Amino acid sequence: MYKFESISLDNREKWDNVILNSNYYDFYHTSCYHVIESKAGKAELLFATDGTDHIAIPLIFREIPNTDLFDATSVYGYCGPITNQLFENIPLELIKYFQNQTTRYFKSNKVVTVFSRLHPLIDTTRIFEDFGTVRNVNQTITIDLTKDLDTQRRKYRKTLLYDINKLRSTNYNVVKASTKNEIERFVSIYIETMKRVESKESYFFDREYFTYFIENSCFKSDILLAVKDMEIAAGAIFTEINGIMQYHLAGTSNKFIRDAPMKLILDEARLMGTQRNLNYLHLGGGVGGSDKDSLFFFKSGFSKNKFDFKVWQMLVDEEKYELLSAGVDKDTSDNFFPLYRLKN
């Protein structure tokens, strides 16, 4: 029996049951992460089933300022649709039902546009055939943790191996943050890093964000710290769920920036993930969708495994979209969607 529903965070048990009964998912899909990320709007999990298989996608519905209209977007990170088996095996009838019911839901709730980042490790191409537009953004780097440690290490750039060995020989070591003071120091270093690289305001998370993130009940998270002579030099949060480890947020103290101790942290994360029998350590991509910047170059030193990062865009109400976007210079928008958000 076909069924479509919207599941809100008021029913987190049902939300997470859908996630846990899916074939491939990540922490970005969980209710816990959506609680963290839902300050911008109302989080909902759109769910369609034929009684056997299901398709679901979490979105955040935001008010469009000075209107009674809305748009939908995904959380920060890699999200998109999930299902209880490979998307290539989902019946076409269910896919069409999902598309039709989702579109109807958008229209009935005055949604003008939809934008969702898609998960590089989950092939969702079939879901979006004749359903909005999927755009390639950049590539991301992944370490295959199913390979033995020596094979993993042989994929490293030679200069990276030299740098890691040098860090180990100059009194650097990596530990898990286990005390309040260690966590506080990591948060301070993260904020210091965001200021140094002049990040957008959206990357400056408050301390409550980190506390909830670490204590959440949906997925495991660890903060790994690089320490030299009893001083914390750098740190990074790694998440773990469903065989996937994610390199989520990271920072390096200005004092130790020249040593680049994050290299040692990522090497230790790789060892930890392999020991835990995980499948992937996903490092992500470059800044702002670039495959040519220093961050992407840094990450690509750890692995040659590259995945395509894509986004899904859907124009639900073209007439209202054009009215809202009036006055925005499309030629200088650099593929920004939806255009009217450049006004705010």
Shared-domain flag, residues 112 and 162: no
Chain segment 263-320, per-residue pLDDT in tens = 999 999 999 999 999 999 999 998 765 566 888 999 999 999 999 999 999 999 999 9
- Closest Cα partner for 41 from 57, 66, 18, 64? 64
What average pLDDT does the structure give for the chain?
94
Does any domain span residue 266?
yes
Work out the burial of residue 88: count CB atoms within 10 Å of its CB; fewer than 13 is exposed, 13-18 middle, 19 or more buried. Answer: exposed
Q: Is 10 exposed, middle or buried (CB count within 10 Å of its CB: 0-12, 13-18, 19+)?
A: exposed
Q: In this structure, are 272 and 173 located in the same domain?
A: yes
Same domain, 115 and 205: no
Q: Which domain holds residue 109?
A: 3-139+309-343
26 and 92 in a single domain? The answer is yes
Is 316 part of any domain? yes
Please give the torsion angle defined by the CA atoms of residues 199, 37, 127 and 109, in that order, rounded to the nearest 10 degrees: -120
Same domain, 12 and 132: yes
Q: Which residues in the chain show pLDDT less than 50?
A: none
pLDDT at 344: 59
Q: Token pair of 97, please?
A: 């039902």
Instruction: Tell me if 260 sits within 8 A of 45, measured CB to CB.
Output: no
CA–CA dist 308, 304 (Å, integer):
13
Q: For residue 295, is it within any domain?
A: no
Half-sphere exposure in the Cβ direction for 163 (13 Å, CA): 18
77 forms bridges with which residues in the sheet? none
Do the domain assignments include residue 176? yes
Number of independent structural domains in the chain: 2
Note whether 236 and 284 are within 8 A (CB).
no
* Per-residue confidence (pLDDT) for residue 290, from 0 to 100: 56
165 and 261 share one domain = yes
For the chain, what is the largest distance between any 2 Cα atoms, rounded to a whole number of angstroms?
Answer: 64
Domain identity same for 198 and 88:
no
**Inside any domain, residue 24:** yes
CATH no. for residue 58?
A: 3.40.630.30
Token pair, residue 264, equals: 């040692």
166 and 111 co-located in one domain: no
Same domain flag for 102 and 221: no
Q: Is there a single domain that holds both residue 21 and residue 132?
A: yes
Same domain assignment for residues 125 and 212 = no
Based on the domain organization, do 71 and 158 belong to the same domain? no
